[in-house]
Structure 1
Amino acid sequence: MSTHSITWLNGQLLSTDQAVVPVNDHGLLYGDGVFEGIRFYRRRAFRLQRHLQRLRLSARAIALEIPLSTDELTAVIERLIDAFPDDDGYIRLMVTRGAGPLGLNPKNCSQPNVIAIADQLTMIYIDQQQAGARLMVSSVRRLPADGLDSRIKSLNYLNHILAKIEANHAGVDEAILLNAQGRVAEGTADNVFTVRNGRLLTPSCSEGALEGITRALVLELAQADGIETCEQPLGVYDLYAADECFLTGTGAELIPVASIDCRLLPSCPGPVFRRLQLAFQRTIAVECGGER
């Protein structure tokens, strides 16, 4: 975390190293809470209302009452951006269940904590923007929807962390999680796209993929650019046989993939990726102002 990191915590703006929550917060004890990652460019939050809507839906799904309205959360984010020293950055917005007695039962937790941290985010494979990221298919499976629905962006990421550890041990940049049926779900912190014969393919959310904000934007941009898109089940074969592959996410933005399980892809960055990356940058310029 950088020395410039700042945090909004329950109404106070603090240096992040001064921000504290009780050790009996159920967000810490049990991962009981929800979060959003939000990019800002030129001091404007990108697609903020979509992020706040997803936060509310995640909170509703776990019966967590957010103590601030959408307008109040918007004001929090704007205040944090104004106080941050850089024009571009990343915000982690979290709502925890709050402090409570030991034990899983959330009913005695006193008050949710609302936390927003502004910092710079460095993904491990940011340097692979041109060379491309190296991927592996993880042995860790994505939790099924009847265990934890992928649309809930909760504070419990242990499933994905285990896959990331596996990628670290293998010396690659990212891991792809399959669902219980052996079909492609998502990366540890990103959605997955492939291109084959000019068609852009991505797993549907029913396969275990998060309803990514960047994922949705990429599908919109592709359709507007005349690229055929399809949300459908994908197997490991579809990864290996792809002409192109890339990852998307608020943190990752768009990252091309060079190899999967040591199999080199024919094109990286490929022509479809390049078109979508340009369209993505144009969208940021339009919505956040100026050239990048």
Structure 2
Amino acid sequence: METVVWVDGKLVGESERALSAVDHGITVGDGAFETCTLVDGQVFALTRHLRRLDRSLRGLGLDPAPDLETRIRTGIDAVLTRAGTIDGRLRLTVTSGIGPLGSGRADAPATVIVAAATSTMRPESRTVRSPWVRNERSAVAGLKTTSYAENVVALADAVAQGGDEALLANTVGELCEGTGSNVVVERDGELLTPALTSGCLAGITRALFLEWGAEDGLPVREAEPGELPFTVLDDVTAGRAALALTSSGRNIQPVTWLDGASVAPGPLTLVARDLFERRVRERMDP
């Protein structure tokens, strides 16, 4: 199916030119976005995604206009009406609108883009350690911005090595996140995910993994500072730990290949994956 796209009140063709060449989202990547899972044509966890989008915009210094959520929901309705009852992804993008060619902003209305397409989640992941790091002290640390060039480069490097995701440390050598995912380490009978202080994104799936796992009595928690160094990945390749990724495009996805070596998914990881799959169908907007 062709991607269904809505830009500021109008459905447009996938290849149709629909944005100004001087939109600040294009010239300097000045904007934020969300990628949501579509289940039978319904948006999973939309309230949480809109809340995080608001937080990212405010973190960028872009106070959302009072009608922004209404505009976004109008776009969602139009796109889903056209797309039908698909399983896939819905992307919401908000930029600061038309601006100058430099980094300074103009006082312009935001640009809103909504797009949907079918997609299939892979049952497992092949990951590669990235040579680059995430800056946990960055001005945009923890924000889901459209400035994604670092992620594109790191992911392309992983793909060239046979992977589908790259894992990044932060500047102090802690395990941080993937280019588009959060990380879970299964070790010593627990499921641990890096704390937000590592600089990782506050993932929607990550949060629900922690909430739903605890609700069902699984030993899930955020790691303490320094508890998950990047070298914990050596324990994964040695078979002393297991690894999984979480994101809206993956749900809870066991890692079965790391840096060219096959690795086994952990038993708790598989329980958490099955739990998440059930909950998604039961609670569309948790």
Report if TM-score (shorter chain) is over 0.5. yes
Determine if the alignment matches structure 1 residue 148 to structure 2 residue 147. Answer: no
Q: CA RMSD in A?
A: 2.0
Which one-letter code corresponds to 1:230 in the other structure? R
Distance 2:120 2:88 in 1: 10
Q: Please say if residues 72 and 92 of structure 2, whose CA atoms lie closer than 8 Å, have aligned partners that are also in contact.
A: no
2:13 paired residue number: 15
Confirm or deny: 8 A CA contact 2:34 2:92 kept in the other structure. Answer: yes
Deviations 1:258-292 (A, max 9, x none): 13223443x32x32122112211211211249xxx
Q: Secondary structure at the match of 2:142?
A: coil
- Residues 72, 114 of structure 2: 8 Å contact kept: no
Correspondence list, 1:66-215, <5 A: 66-67=64-65, 68-106=67-105, 108-121=106-119, 126=122, 129=123, 132-145=124-137, 147-215=138-206
Contact 1:65–1:112 (Cα < 8 Å) also in 2: no
Paired residues of 1:194 and 1:246 also in contact (CA < 8 A): yes
Are 2:268 and 1:279 aligned? no
Query: Counterpart of 1:251 in 2: which secondary structure?
Result: coil
**Cα separation, 1, equivalents of 2:258 and 2:86:** 35
Structure 1: how far apart are the matches of 2:246 and 2:80?
Answer: 23
| Cα distance in 1 between the residues matched to 2:4 and 2:13 | 5
Taking structure 1 as the reference length, the TM-score comes to 0.88
1:236 aligns with 2:235: no
Q: Deviation of residue 214 (structure 1)?
A: 0.3
SS at match of 1:200: strand
Task: Deviation per CA, 1:51-94: give whole Å up to 9, x if none.
Answer: 00100111111122434343443343233212213432211101
What is the Cα deviation at residue 44 of structure 1?
1.6
The amino acid across from 2:174 in the alignment is R
Across the two proteins, how many residue pairs are aligned to each other? 277
Shift in Å at residue 122 of structure 1?
5.5
The one-letter code of the counterpart of 2:88 is G
Task: Give the drift of 1:102.
Answer: 1.7
Q: Distance in 1 between matches of 2:46 and 2:198?
A: 26
- Matches of 1:284 and 1:57 in 2, distance apart? 24
CA contact (8 A) 2:31 2:146 kept: yes
Offset at 1:227? 1.6
1:47 counterpart residue number: 45
- Name the TM-score, length of structure 2 as normaliser: 0.90
Gaps of 5+ in 2: none
Q: Which amino acid aligns with 1:142?
A: R
Q: Which runs of 5+ in 1 are unaligned?
A: none
Contact 1:240–1:263 (CA under 8 A) maintained in structure 2: no
Q: Which residue of 1 aligns with 2:256?
A: 258
Residue 104 to residue 122, structure 1, CA distance change in 2 (3 Å): farther
Whole-Å Cα distance in 2 between the matches of residues 89 and 285 of structure 1? Answer: 14
Q: Report the 3-state secondary structure (helix = DSSP H, G, I; strand = E; otherwise coil) of the residue aligned with 2:101.
A: coil
| Distance in 2, Cα, partners of 1:71 & 1:24 | 25
Q: CA deviation at 1:17?
A: 2.3
Range with bigger deviation, 252-261 or 202-211: 252-261
Specify whether residues 149 and 276 from structure 1 end up closer, same or farther in structure 2 by C-alpha distance, changes over 3 A only.
same
Residues 222-258 of structure 1, C-alpha deviations (whole Å, 9 max, x = no match): 1122121221241133223243211010112222111
Identical-pair percentage? 32
